[in-house]
Amino acid sequence: MLYNQTYNLDQVGFAADGLKDAQQTMGAMKAANKELKGMMKTVKIEDIDNMQDEMTDLMDVSNEIQESLGRSYNIPDDVDEEDLMGELDALEADMEFESAAVPSYLQPDEESDLNLPAAPTYPAAVPVSRHQVSGFHVHLDFIFGQKA
C-alpha cells in the first residue's frame, strides 16, 4: 500500500515536471516566433525573386561575353570533332613513342675517335702514413679505415 502511494506521488511529480518543461518550450517558441516575424518584415520574397532574376540575366550576359571572346577567326564552323580527336590521339601516340626512345646524345657512338683508358673498377690505393696538418697529427689509416 505504501508502495502504491509512493508510485502515485512520483507520477504526479513527473507530470508537474513535464508541464513545467512544456511551459518553457512554449515560451521559447513564442520568442522565436516573434523574432522570425520581425525578421520577415525586412525580407520580402519579391525582392529575392527579383535578385535571382537579375543574377540569371547577369550570368547569361557573362556567358555570351565568354562565347564571343572564345571565337576563333581561323577555324571554320564545320570542323568535325572526331577528326580533331583522331589528330589528338595521333599526336599523343607520337609523344609516347618519342618519350620511350633513347635520345641520340645518350646512345653510344658507333665509332669513337677518343682513345681513353677504361675506368677503374677498384678504389685507388692511398699509402698509410702520418701527416702533420696545422700542428695536429692526422692518421690517414684512421680516416680511410685501414689499420697499420
- Residue 60 in this model has a pLDDT that exceeds 50: yes
pTM across the whole model: 0.33
Eight-state DSSP code of residue 47: H
Tell me phi and psi for residue 92, to 5 degrees.
-65, -40
pLDDT > 80? residue 148: no
Q: Where are the alpha helices (DSSP H) in the chain?
A: 2-42, 45-69, 81-100, 140-143
Question: What pLDDT score does 144 carry?
Answer: 58
Handedness of CA 10, 14, 15, 17 (dihedral sign): positive
pLDDT(53) > 70: yes
pLDDT at 30: 96
